[in-house]
């Protein structure tokens, strides 16, 4: 029996940079993303279509898509995060083929992140997701703060599953759980993904872990055991959610890939460009911060 295929989704250009005070010039971002492309990861999230006044680090997402749509990579999908209809419109205008969008299971985090509560956010995401699919794009929907909230503490699994069911009822079955506060532990990860698999057997599952307590890789392994197929990570462990109480880094991409390769998976991904990209972005951030 062949080993199951897992996908690596590099989110450094978006989640890795969104909390940085320094603004990386577009030309340097392009050079950095080209290094990431050389690794042959499955997907790279170029940025998010959000208000540039609130998040100036993402103000050039349109320009990045314009550039890479002219120089389209052969084997890597380019993705973008959208949180509202205006962002979706910008994504359509840029020719985005894969949208990531989601709502938080934490009311407090939802209000801080989007200015809307969970119920309103879920309804918005369902509508946006159906619209994007109708336009021919692929869509991944997520539940943020799925494993706990830095503001509210425990987030009941039933609340997460209620959101998952609403996604599935709308035909949106590519689903991700985001550990926004970094509070997940491996048993919780296996249990929650197992419950989703029982609820939506045909779901295509993804995960997004933060490393607040050093458990990101352990949680990725637990997710793998639970049948998760796609893993989001950022080189160098960069990033975090600006609306989280503690802004902890993401799963480290090069460590994740190394672990997968030690398990006999994804030998086709080239590790050296990921290591180079992690070093180069640190140098870029140091330079532009001066």
| 195 pLDDT more than 50 | yes
For residue 285, the model assigns a pLDDT of 81
For residue 144, the model assigns a pLDDT of 96
% of the chain with per-residue pLDDT over 70? 94
The answer to the question of residue 277 being in a domain is yes
Residues 279/30, Cβ–Cβ less than 8 Å: no
The answer to the question of residue 109 being in a domain is yes
54's CB contacts (< 8 A; 6+ apart) are: none
Residues for the chain: how many in total? Answer: 290
Q: What is the dihedral of CA 241, 259, 37, 146, to 10 degrees?
A: -30
The helix (H) or strand (E) run that includes residue 48 is strand 43-48
The answer to the question of residue 51 being in a domain is yes
Q: How would residue 151 be classed by pLDDT, with cut points 50, 70 and 90?
A: confident
For residue 2, the model assigns a pLDDT of 46
The CATH number of whichever domain residue 276 belongs to comes to 3.20.20.70
Number of helices (H), then strands (E), belonging to the chain: the values are: 10, 8
Rounded average pLDDT over 220-229: 97
Rounded average pLDDT over 241-264: 82
Give how far Cα 156 sits from Cα of 89, 108, 142, Å.
33, 14, 16
The separation between CA 261 and the C-alpha centre of its own chain, rounded to angstroms, equals 21
Residues 267/261, Cβ–Cβ less than 8 Å: yes
Count of domains for the chain:
1
For residue 247, the model assigns a pLDDT of 54
The answer to the question of residue 80 being in a domain is yes
% of the chain with per-residue pLDDT over 90? 80
* Domain that includes residue 135, residue range: 7-289
| 199 pLDDT more than 70 | yes
Q: 77: which strand partners?
A: 43
Q: How would residue 255 be classed by pLDDT, with cut points 50, 70 and 90?
A: very high
**Cα gap 14→81, rounded to integer Å:** 8
Q: How would residue 1 be classed by pLDDT, with cut points 50, 70 and 90?
A: very low
Active site residues: 241
**Cα gap 188→181, rounded to integer Å:** 14
The model carries a pTM of 0.94
The answer to the question of residue 125 being in a domain is yes
The helix (H) or strand (E) run that includes residue 124 is helix 118-134
The separation between CA 48 and the C-alpha centre of its own chain, rounded to angstroms, equals 11
How far is it between the farthest Cα atoms of the chain?
53
Is pLDDT larger for residue 229 or for residue 286? 229
| 160 pLDDT more than 50 | yes
pLDDT tens digit string along 3-55? 568 999 999 999 989 888 889 999 999 999 999 999 999 999 999 999 998 89
| 222 pLDDT more than 60 | yes
Where do we find the tokens 């997907």?
43
73's CB contacts (< 8 A; 6+ apart) are: 37
The answer to the question of residue 2 being in a domain is no
The answer to the question of residue 1 being in a domain is no
The answer to the question of residue 236 being in a domain is yes
CA-closest candidate to residue 143, choices 190, 207, 189, 81:
207
pLDDT tens digit string along 99-125? 999 999 999 998 988 889 999 999 999
């Amino acid at each position: 029996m062949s080993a199951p295929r897992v996908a690596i989704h590099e989110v450094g250009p978006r989640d890795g940079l969104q909390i940085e005070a320094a603004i990386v010039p577009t030309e340097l971002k392009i050079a950095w993303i080209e290094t990431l492309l050389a690794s042959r990861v499955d997907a790279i999230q170029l940025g998010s279509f959000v208000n540039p006044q609130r998040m100036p680090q993402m103000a050039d997402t349109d320009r990045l898509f314009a550039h890479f749509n002219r120089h389209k990579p052969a084997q890597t999908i380019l993705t973008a995060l959208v949180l509202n209809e205006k962002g979706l419109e910008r994504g359509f205008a840029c020719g985005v083929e894969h949208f990531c969008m989601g709502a938080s299971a934490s009311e407090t985090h939802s209000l801080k992140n989007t200015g809307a509560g969970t119920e309103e956010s879920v309804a918005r995401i369902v509508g946006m997701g159906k619209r994007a699919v109708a336009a021919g794009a692929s869509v991944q929907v997520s539940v943020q703060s799925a494993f706990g909230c830095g503001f509210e503490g425990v987030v009941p699994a039933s609340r997460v599953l209620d959101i998952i069911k609403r996604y599935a009822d709308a035909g949106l079955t590519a689903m991700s759980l985001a550990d926004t506060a970094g509070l997940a532990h491996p048993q919780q990860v296996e249990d929650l993904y197992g419950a989703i698999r029982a609820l939506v057997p045909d779901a295509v599952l993804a995960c997004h872990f933060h490393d607040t307590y050093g458990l990101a890789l352990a949680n990725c392994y637990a997710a793998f055991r639970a049948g998760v197929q796609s893993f989001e990570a950022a080189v160098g462990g960069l990033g975090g959610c600006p609306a989280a109480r503690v802004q902890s880094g993401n799963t480290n991409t090069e460590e994740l890939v190394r672990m997968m390769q030690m398990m006999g998976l994804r030998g086709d991904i080239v590790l050296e460009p990921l290591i180079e990209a992690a070093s180069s972005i640190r140098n870029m951030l140091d330079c532009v911060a001066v």
